Chain A
Amino acid sequence: MRTKLAVVIALVVAVAAPVIAHHAFSAEFDAKRPLTLEGKVTKMEWINPHAWIHIDVTKEDGAVEKWMVEGGTPNTLLRRGFTKNSLAIGSEIKVDGYQAKDGSMRANGRDLTFKDGRKLFLGSSGTGAPKDGRDKTER
């Protein structure tokens, strides 16, 4: 049962995942342009439908590029206990994601980590997310 069920679930989730994104990220970002950005947070926009983190990326030649990184809904962040103070202006972060299809300085924020390697969004129990306290049966 163990193997069979695991395979079933893997298939279900692999197929379902692309459908569930609120916005078609594959229409917005280019799978052929994966990127890693390192920069300083200059602003976080707590807006719907998705939050945007603005970062300044300093290139090797000293030029500064202003990037916008798309995340998820602020509602989920609030329920996870993520607040305005969780990501201070000036924080240095690394973004793993994909660049916008039109080549502009926008990316999705697949994984976000602090410079020292700590994950920006600490997770638990494999969900990548801490308990939010809403579900009393949640472990």
Chain B
Amino acid sequence: MIYRIRLVLLAVALGAGASAADKGEFKAPRTPWGDPDIQGIWDFRTITPLERPKALGDKQVLSADEAEEFQAETLAVRNKDRRTQDGLSTQADVANAYNQFWWDYGNQLTEDKRTSLVVSPADGRIPAPTPKAKERYAGIRSRRARPAHGPEDRGAFERCILGFNAGPPYTPSAYNNNVHILQTPDHVVLLIEMVHDARIVPIDARPPLPGEIRQWRGDARGHWDGDTLVVESRNFSDKTSFRGTGKNLHLIERFTRVAPDRVVYEYTINDPEMFTEPWTVAIPMKWNEQPMYEYACHEGNYAMESMLAGARAQEAAEEK
């Protein structure tokens, strides 16, 4: 029920076509075999932060003026030359890689002007980690602090295995914020532009994999709950993590077409080993008329070679 109420609120905020959804009039188109049709290329760019900035307290939504300001300031700050301003350093500048031309965050908040993509808990923040999670973070930090011995010491995204917005779950990031959804009667394919990863989700009620089989993106099973596609994933590997999730994450994703050109994508992170409570994110996805482009990340990953060469140079300098 809570989910339904939230969906209506989101639909109202989404504007075009949403008033029909509000009144329960919008009905998603159907596939030839009768399922709700959510196929298409969906763009989930937004500059709305995942977590609400602490200083905004319990403010869930910005006014139109505040939203304008937030957008303008965010874009200005992102484009800032970090070498000389505000006491920031060349280290911060080089970490930011290049100027804004190369980034593709979009330049808009979500249409409902929320202050965070996290919709639960109510403070818009990712819940506190458990003691076990803190221990795990410390291990990761110490590995990252030394020069990488080899590619395995670098992140999965740097190794072109999965990217930061490649999911699951999907969250807006620096670029390639598009997912192409394709359906058959017994499968849904979620082709994400980042790292060009096709996630094939059975929706034919087959049993899940045994618990000992662990996969990079978990083991997904989908079903229709009314007009909402629900995808549940378990059996994650401990080699991947989304914002601190562990291998026993139970991820629930929901895709609902609320207007001809909008899908609301929601996901809930259930991971009591790593977080003190579950948390939920809601992201509007817009119809994208442009094509997806291939992102064959391995094709020219010279950066990995450069990073390892940099690590060897750092070691040599330290030995002197």
Residues of chain B with a CB closer than 8 A to A123's CB: 79, 100-101
Task: Name the residue in B155, B175, B289, B301 with the highest tally of chain A Cβ atoms < 10 Å from its Cβ.
Answer: B175
Residues of chain B with a CB closer than 8 A to A2's CB: 69
**A11 lies within 8 A of B53 (CB):** yes
CB closest chain-A residue, reference B307: A27
Residues of chain A with a CB closer than 8 A to B294's CB: 48
**B310 lies within 8 A of A126 (CB):** no
Q: Does B74 contact A (CB under 8 A)?
A: yes
CB closest chain-A residue, reference B49: A12
**A18 lies within 8 A of B101 (CB):** no
**B300 lies within 8 A of A28 (CB):** no
**B73 lies within 8 A of A6 (CB):** yes
Residues of chain B with a CB closer than 8 A to A108's CB: 94, 97-98
A8 to chain B, nearest CB (A): 4
Do A103 and B313 contact each other (CB < 8 Å), given the known contacts A13-B78, A21-B97, A111-B99? yes
Task: Name the residue in B76, B155, B173 with the highest tally of chain A Cβ atoms < 10 Å from its Cβ.
Answer: B76
Instruction: Tally B residues with Cβ within 8 Å of A.
Output: 77
**B303 lies within 8 A of A50 (CB):** yes
Residues of chain B with a CB closer than 8 A to A31's CB: 89-91, 93-94
Task: Name the residue in A7, A18, A23, A109 with the highest tally of chain B Cβ atoms < 10 Å from its Cβ.
Answer: A23
Q: Mark B82-100, 1 if CB is under 8 A from A, else 0.
A: 1100101111111111111
Do A48 and B300 contact each other (CB < 8 Å), given the known contacts A13-B74, A31-B89, A128-B100? yes
A123 to chain B, nearest CB (A): 6
A87 to chain B, nearest CB (A): 12
**A24 lies within 8 A of B93 (CB):** no
In A40-88, the 8 Å CB interface with B consists of 45, 47-50, 52, 68, 70-80
A63 to chain B, nearest CB (A): 23
**B94 lies within 8 A of A29 (CB):** yes
Instruction: Tally A residues with Cβ within 8 Å of B.
Output: 73
Residues of chain A with a CB closer than 8 A to B66's CB: 1, 5
**A10 lies within 8 A of B86 (CB):** yes
A22 to chain B, nearest CB (A): 6
**A138 lies within 8 A of B99 (CB):** no
**B107 lies within 8 A of A25 (CB):** no
**B310 lies within 8 A of A28 (CB):** yes
B318 to chain A, nearest CB (A): 12
Task: Name the residue in A8, A27, A104, A123 with the highest tally of chain B Cβ atoms < 10 Å from its Cβ.
Answer: A27
Task: Name the residue in B155, B295, B307, B312 with the highest tally of chain A Cβ atoms < 10 Å from its Cβ.
Answer: B307
A interface secondary structure, majority: mixed
Among B21-29, B156-164, B183-191, B273-281, the one that faces the other chain is: B156-164
**A34 lies within 8 A of B73 (CB):** no
Q: How far is the CA of A12 from the CA of B108 in the complex (A)?
A: 16
A21 to chain B, nearest CB (A): 5
Q: Does A121 contact B (CB under 8 A)?
A: yes
Q: How far is the CA of A47 from the CA of B53 in the complex (A)?
A: 36
Q: Does B13 contact A (CB under 8 A)?
A: no
Residues of chain B with a CB closer than 8 A to A34's CB: 83, 90
The residue from A68, A73, A100 contacting B309, defined by CB atoms under 8 A apart: A100
Do A24 and B307 contact each other (CB < 8 Å), given the known contacts A17-B78, A31-B90, A135-B108? yes
21 A–B pairs (Cβ distance < 8 Å), ordered by A:
A13-B74, A20-B164, A21-B96, A22-B158, A24-B155, A26-B91, A49-B303, A71-B98, A72-B98, A75-B193, A75-B293, A76-B101, A76-B175, A98-B93, A101-B309, A101-B313, A106-B306, A126-B72, A128-B99, A133-B290, A134-B43
7 additional A-B pairs beyond A77-B102, A101-B314, beta carbons within 8 Å, are: A9-B53, A9-B77, A45-B300, A48-B298, A104-B309, A125-B107, A127-B107
Interface set of B (CB-CB < 8 Å, partner A) = 43, 45, 49, 53, 55-56, 66, 69-70, 72-79, 82-83, 86, 88-104, 106-108, 148, 154-155, 157-158, 160, 163-164, 173-176, 193, 286, 288-290, 293-304, 306-307, 309-314
